[in-house]
Amino acid sequence: MREVAATRYIQPLRSGGSVPGVVEADDLGTYVVKFTGSAQGRKALVAEIVVGELARALGLRFPELVMVHFDPAIAESEPHQEVRDLHRASAGVNLGMDYLPGAKDFTPEVARTFRVDPLEAGRIVWLDALTVNVDRTVHSSNLMLWPTFGTVPPRLWLIDHGAALVFHHRWDGSDPAKAYDFRHHALGHYTPDVRAADAELAPKVTEELLREIVAEVPDAWLADEPGFATPDDARTAYVDYLHARVRASAAWLPTDFPTREELAAEEALRAAKTQQGRPSWLKRVPDLHGKPAAEQDWSVHLG
């Protein structure tokens, strides 16, 4: 993985709890940096590397990751104290993702008109099921459309995998064959062909590939992993678990996805229950909870 040094801090992104920052680097690139000092901790960065690099190895679109050397002094102009505190707690090496200028969130509104091939949808669902990524739902897709300009048609890009690999939060209680509920996956209503994806992708997830991917994780991010004497011991655990999980795909392969109409009916029922629980004077106030967030525009002013 390439290493760069941040030379200019542009702005924070507040769409998620980790408050990543947009920076320019000495290679003239622009990156979204996720900081080691964030509340999610270093496990989230480990998940970003493992799942992101696995996605790329399997042919899915995912922005390049780099290791970013960050000096908090370049961001002293940041007006918010809590963000400055985050930067000071993150001096040193952090994780950067290539910035996609002009990319737009894949929101439910966009999903109503954008066509996704069932096999592409199946590949993404399969990757999420393999890596237990529970944070790609109809309400929070962690998918971007890019490019969104010119004559080139936009494509789906995967981002934000910090919530994946839930097993590494409790190694001793994790069953590699465990199935998870992916009914409300962001691409579930595209009739994802997960069986074809499984036949195509499972043979590619070899022990050798997994070893190459986890080797990209810095020792410092694995040094304090409970239950492991060395970072290499922790790497071996990731390889063993994911390799065992891919071999058990018949047990966890998600195939039950609601249609658009079923999703709409579930949302209407949820909204009705919410309204019933409100005081009479609030029942005329729109229910804003659970509604999709406004589109995230990554085309920040860089001048």
Burial class (CB within 10 angstroms; exposed 0-12, middle 13-18, buried 19+) of 92: middle
Q: Do 174 and 112 share a domain, yes or no?
A: yes
Q: Write phi, then psi, for 23 (nearest 5 degrees).
A: -135, 155
Domain closes at, from 98, 117, 147:
98
Instruction: Flag whether pLDDT at 172 surpasses 90.
Output: no
**Sign of the alpha-carbon torsion through 231, 228, 48, 258:** positive
Total domains, the chain: 2
Q: Do 41 and 154 share a domain, yes or no?
A: no
| Confidence band of 258 (pLDDT split at 50, 70, 90) | confident
Mean pLDDT score, 238-242: 98
Domain closes at, from 98, 126, 153:
98
Global pTM reads 0.88
Q: What local confidence, expressed as pLDDT, does residue 289 receive?
A: 43
Other beta carbons less than 10 A from residue 109's beta carbon: 11
- Residue 242, domain extent: 104-252
Q: Do 94 and 137 share a domain, yes or no?
A: no
HEC readout, 116-159? CCHHHHHHHHHHHHHCCCCCCECCCCCEEEECCCCCCCCEEEEC
Q: Do 173 and 65 share a domain, yes or no?
A: no
- The residues with which 92 forms a beta bridge, in sequence order, are 70
Instruction: Flag whether pLDDT at 290 surpasses 90.
Output: no
Q: Do 166 and 65 share a domain, yes or no?
A: no
Q: Is residue 282 part of a domain?
A: no
Q: Do 150 and 37 share a domain, yes or no?
A: no
d(CA 272, CA 54): 41
Q: CA distances (Å), 31 to each of 13, 57, 94, 218, in order?
A: 12, 21, 11, 19
Q: Is residue 83 part of a domain?
A: yes
Q: Do 17 and 138 share a domain, yes or no?
A: no
Sheet arrangement for strand 143-146: 104-105, 143-146, 155-158
Mean pLDDT score, 4-13: 97
Cα 44 to the center of its chain, rounded Å: 9
Copy the structure tokens of residue 260. Answer: 């658009």
Q: Do 111 and 222 share a domain, yes or no?
A: yes
d(CA 96, CA 31): 5
Q: Do 135 and 70 share a domain, yes or no?
A: no
Q: What local confidence, expressed as pLDDT, does residue 302 receive?
A: 40
